[in-house]
Amino acid sequence: MGTDKDPAAENALGGFLRARRDQLRPEVTGLPTSGRRRVPGLRREEVATLAGVSTDYYMRLEQGRERHPSQQVLEAVARALRLDDEAVAHLYRVATPTARRTRRAPRVERVAPHLRRLLDTWSDTPAFVLGHALDVLARNRLAGALYAGFTHPDNLLRMTFLDPAAHHFHRDWDRAAESTVATLRKAAGIDPEDPRLRELVGELSMKSADFRVLWARHDVRGKTREAKLFHHAQVGDLELHYEAFTVNSAPTQQLIVYQAEPGSTSADALALLGSLSAGPVPARDTTRSTD
């Protein structure tokens, strides 16, 4: 997926390798740093040396001309670039893509009724369900109140990069932006031909320069757990911790649950937000269909 052209035309492996070596400082690897350098990170020949392959072979990898790298080569390149576990998994996905399908059955993302009912039972903690492209498929009342300041709270990427409320809501907007893009990049590595992902990357690339910069970095990170710093117009500052759970009945979906530290000012603010938003508001359910 590219930024200013058809996402499917991107050399995913080459883009990932270039981005990773650009961000790896030579002194971290023990390579000499004397003399003038025209690139901020490692040169191609330096990565090749660290990986124990020829410079010509490594160049073919970045240029997309070597389409069947061995497991041993991928392991060596991963070590040379000092990739973490998630980045290594992404490297294998983009280096050995599945055969392109000419047409597939439409995929409809629905939240199961029992999961929506479960969301409604949690009155004191914000919770919502995300689709594979970070579309918000369902949310409970408190999650709706938490994100009430957004104009179109339908997708975490669109909220972060296209909604004016984002910079006021996220007290650390840079971190929030990096995290959402890294999660989307992971999803793109799993299914680069997905129509919804292609549509979303295309829209964000056209409308947000910040997104284009972060997308080009090829950072990869899934949602697991993290502390989030928010500022809510009604209750002020909040520090909430989330856990992400895979929905086994729908493996492309994730259940996100926020909580505040018991006895903290954030817990008090969250309780106040709950009382202000009290009412019979059911979990929002959005159905997504992709071809």
- Residue 5's pLDDT band (boundaries 50, 70, 90)? very low
pLDDT (tens digit per residue) in 141-198: 999 999 999 998 899 999 999 999 999 999 999 999 999 999 999 888 888 888 889 8
Could you tell me which of 167, 269, 247 has the C-alpha nearest to residue 208? Answer: 167
Residue type, 110: R
- Residue 100's pLDDT band (boundaries 50, 70, 90)? low
- Residue 127's pLDDT band (boundaries 50, 70, 90)? very high
Q: What does DSSP say about strands 136-139 and 225-232: parallel, antiparallel, or unpaired?
A: unpaired
Residue type, 208: S
Q: Is the pLDDT of residue 280 over 60?
A: no
Buried b (16+ CB within 10 A) or exposed e, 37-71: eeeebbebebbbbbbebeeeebbbbbeeebeebee
Could you tell me which of 5, 240, 214, 250 has the C-alpha nearest to residue 107? Answer: 250
Do 20 and 94 touch, CB atoms closer than 8 A?
Answer: no
Residue 209's Cβ-count burial label (10 Å; 0-12, 13-18, 19+) is: exposed
pTM > 0.85: yes or no: no
Q: Does 260 or 5 have the greater pLDDT score?
A: 260
260: its two tokens? 């505040």
Percentages helix, strand, coil for the chain, rounded to the nearest 5?
45, 15, 40
The residue ranges of DSSP E strands in 177-275, in sequence order, are 225-232, 236-246, 254-259
Q: Could you tell me which residues are beta bridge partners of residue 229? A: 239
